[in-house]
Amino acid sequence: MSANLSHIDINNTKVPFIFEEDKNLPIVSMQLIFKNSGSLSGKKDGLVKLTAKLLNEGTKKDGSTGFATKLENRAISLGVHVGKETFVMELGSLKSEFKYGIECFKELLEDPNYSEDTLKKIKTQTIGSLKQKESDFDYISSLKMKGMLFPNTPLAKSSLGTVESVNSIILDDIKKHVTEHIGLENAIIVMGGDVNQTEAKALAKEILALLPHVDSKDITTMKAVAQKKIKETIEKSQQAYVYFGSPLNVAYDSKERYLAQVASFILGSSGFGSRLMEEIRVKKGLVYSVYSRFNINKTHSYFSGYLQTKIATGNEAVKSVQEVVELFLDKGVTSEELTSAKQFILGSEPLRNETLSQRLNRAFQEFYTNRPLGASVENLKKIEAMSLKELNDFILAHKEIANISFSVVTGNKK
């Protein structure tokens, strides 16, 4: 059976509940997802990532090791992770252990490991990661590209923060983020496995009953800037690391998302066979690899890509990307490219829908982007029926993609 959407009524709040029963394996999983609570919502740079790290340190009563041992002894996974827009707490186990997992989840919500020693430990770990990234040329180039596309926004900053911002975070900052964001009005439950819907709702309600009410505030939408610039950064590098991006005027709830999917696939997201790979790597031999994709999110949409090449061929590779994109926008795609894209996207669909977690994630994404559950299947039908003119009209209407900003981290040219 496919996933379905209902609601759980709790303290005068209707919490969305996405559920799919699957008895193929005796396992159950639950995601408690909080919208408007990801890394873009932090009051200090790195705060939300640090909050997730602290919640992964168990309870104050049991400590990190004691709490982890309780979970490991019963093969239960309970973890917290952060996206740009969402904050996710995830529980999974055998069906026979899931009720105990719920009890552990409740303990974590009621008694997080709010201690100065824990905070000091995770701050030290984060600062260590940031120090390592000072010589990570991919990280440097990518972050600078985001700064060019989204200047003076949270997207221009690392979700890990900076050494200075992490050092400035105190326990009260983390507690405040939790109390302001981890609440009923932001909550969405995604659940499935070897359990019926009535049982699943009862278990989820035990968790939701512990959550407070919060003032849910949408994260500000951010629009990419069309700069068409090249920013070069000299490092002790033996290669050129190039990240590029430009505006993409396709909203998260656009009815043209299926067209964007196919256009992105042909231009650069399909690996070998994509226009960028064929023109720049196969024909010209300029790069080791090159890809691009259309990023369509609730708070921001943009075109982005990456390539790595020799220092000596960096400029030529950058020029080639611009030429390939401009030709793509001017002439569109061929019938052969469209046919090949359709065959791959439609043929690989079963692989993207094999597991329960894949199906639940798809259902969540549909709900989160204001589409009905099952919209992805309808999009496949639209892709199958797509005409060459329909796709090329879409491509020709998005000339904004040509305004590409390039961040190039390279070494000294000899």
322-369 pLDDT, tens digit each: 999 999 999 999 999 999 999 999 999 878 888 899 999 999 999 999
Measured CA to CA, the distance from residue 182 to residue 386 in angstroms comes to: 42
Work out the pLDDT band at 154, boundaries 50, 70, 90: very high
Query: Under 8 Å CB-to-CB from 91, ≥6 apart: which residues?
Result: 29, 30, 31, 32, 76, 77, 78, 98, 101, 102, 105
Work out the pLDDT band at 257, boundaries 50, 70, 90: very high
User: Do the Cβ atoms of 183 and 12 come closer than 8 Å?
Assistant: no
All structural domains of the chain: 4-208 (3.30.830.10), 230-410 (3.30.830.10)
pLDDT in the model for residue 354: 81
pLDDT digits (tens, 9 = 90+) for 126-144: 999 999 999 999 999 999 9
Helix segments in 332-398, DSSP class H: 335-347, 356-368, 375-385, 388-396
pLDDT in the model for residue 392: 98
pLDDT in the model for residue 414: 56
Work out the pLDDT band at 248, boundaries 50, 70, 90: very high
pLDDT in the model for residue 375: 92
Work out the pLDDT band at 2, boundaries 50, 70, 90: confident
Whether the pLDDT of residue 285 is over 70: the answer is: yes
Q: What is the pTM of this model?
A: 0.93
User: Do the Cβ atoms of 166 and 124 come closer than 8 Å?
Assistant: no
Measured CA to CA, the distance from residue 226 to residue 148 in angstroms comes to: 9
Whether the pLDDT of residue 190 is over 90: the answer is: yes
Residue at token pair 């390539």: 307
Work out the pLDDT band at 85, boundaries 50, 70, 90: very high
User: Do the Cβ atoms of 240 and 314 come closer than 8 Å?
Assistant: yes
